[in-house]
Structure 1
Amino acid sequence: MGKIADGLEAADRNVFTRPIPKSAGARMRFLVRQAKGSTKAVARRLGVSQRTVQRYVAGQRKHPPKALAEALEREVRKEWQPRVRRRAEKRAATSTGIAVEARARFGFTAAPGSTDDGRMRRITQQLPPVYARRLFDARAAGASERELRDIVAEGLQEVYFKDGGRRAPGLVVEFTDIDYVEMSY
């Protein structure tokens, strides 16, 4: 994943009301429940054999190799507390918006005579609900990192650089060389 997608995932984790299961067996049982009892589907998802999944579910194995442990955690986080996540996303997309803190290179396409050279900036800005909705919809549709970055860039352009349309008409912001992005909603 990219930095924007990772920032959205981290924001999702911050809205969880309970921590994810700790043990490999508990995580595996959770995934099997989500797959409606299909150990075969979970095995395909994790890239292991069906028998391996069954061993963790039965408690015969307790300590997965590093690659499996990482895949297990990643897949559990994707499925964990979907109602809590949906409720928080709906609130962000309809009323509160999404807060973005980024350190990246911002450049401009603007009128002649302006300073349009890109430079590193650290910006913290609350984007309106419309941008949160667009981000969530794009992520659900499987948008690329570039598409997610363009949505964030457009939001920062309109809210931060153009001040909601009160200044810099015609300004187009370039959002590149992202150092980090943190989001919350």
Structure 2
Amino acid sequence: MQDKLTPEQRAIPKTAKGQAAALLREEKKRGEAGAVRRVAARPGITPDSVYRYLSGKRKNPPRQIAQKLEAEVRASSKPRLQKKVIKDAKAVPVKLRTRAEIGYTNSSSGRSTPDGRMRTIAQTLPPHYATPLWQALEDGDEQEAQRIIREYLQNEYIREAGGQNAHTEIQLGHIDLMEFEINP
């Protein structure tokens, strides 16, 4: 299976020795003690087999073990790429497309919507909104993410014209779509 690689991503090792070494490097980040045992547990082999692969004494593992080794290396290589993408995304504007139930209340006129309408809005969030949004999504805090989106829509999208809109508060209800596009 051929992977499309980005400049930040290296190809995974092809040999059993290289794959075992990559898994060992990953496990050593969690601590030296028991690293070989943890590597062995991932594909379901013995620590002695890991040592044989590392030393090159055994070069061709059975097909099932070779597939497990490759799957483990592939799984451990992706989080680094995801972290880099998230780090890069925090520094640039992010295009947000959302479909949500949006209502409003205007404190100066006393007008409000009895219930919100489903609206689709596509806007580019500047980095000072995108950074806390990514952090909230990374932490799994959906309430905080919705608060940041509501604050952005209220301050930048609704109130941008000023006038009567300066006193408008929005209510963000059920969100059924949220897509992000990173604009470098």
- Shorter-chain TM-score tier: 0.5 to 0.7
SS in 1 for 2:155: helix
Higher relative contact order (CA 8 A, sep 6+): 1
Q: Deviations over 1:93-148 (max 9, x none)?
A: xxxx21100111112233323435301011000112210122234445x2511111
Maintained 8 Å contact 1:103/1:120:
yes
CA contact (8 A) 1:99 1:127 kept: yes
Ranges in structure 1 where 5+ consecutive residues have no aligned partner: 1-15, 44-48
The count of aligned residue pairs is 154
Residues 1:35 and 2:32 are matched in the alignment? no
- What does 1:1-185 correspond to in 2, within 5 Å? 17=7, 32-36=24-28, 38=35, 49-50=41-42, 52=44, 60=62, 61-63=65-67, 76-80=77-81, 82-83=83-84, 85-86=86-87, 88-92=88-92, 97-111=93-107, 112-115=110-113, 117-139=115-137, 142=139, 144-163=141-160, 165=162, 168-185=165-182
Question: What residue identity is the alignment partner of 2:129?
Answer: Y
Classify 1:108/1:74 alpha carbon distance in 2 versus 1 (closer, same or farther; 3 Å).
farther
Residues 18, 173 of structure 1: alpha-carbon distance in 2 compared, 3 angstrom cutoff:
same
User: Which TM-score applies when normalising by structure 1?
Assistant: 0.59
Q: CA RMSD in A?
A: 4.0
Aligned residues of 1:104 and 1:121 also touching (Cα < 8 A): yes
- Corresponding letter in the other structure for 2:25: R
- Unpaired runs of 5+ in structure 2? 1-5, 30-34, 54-60
Mapped contact 2:97–2:178 kept (Cα < 8 A): yes
User: Identity of paired residues, percent?
Assistant: 26
Q: TM-score, normalised by structure 2?
A: 0.59
Greater Rg, structure 1 or structure 2?
A: 2
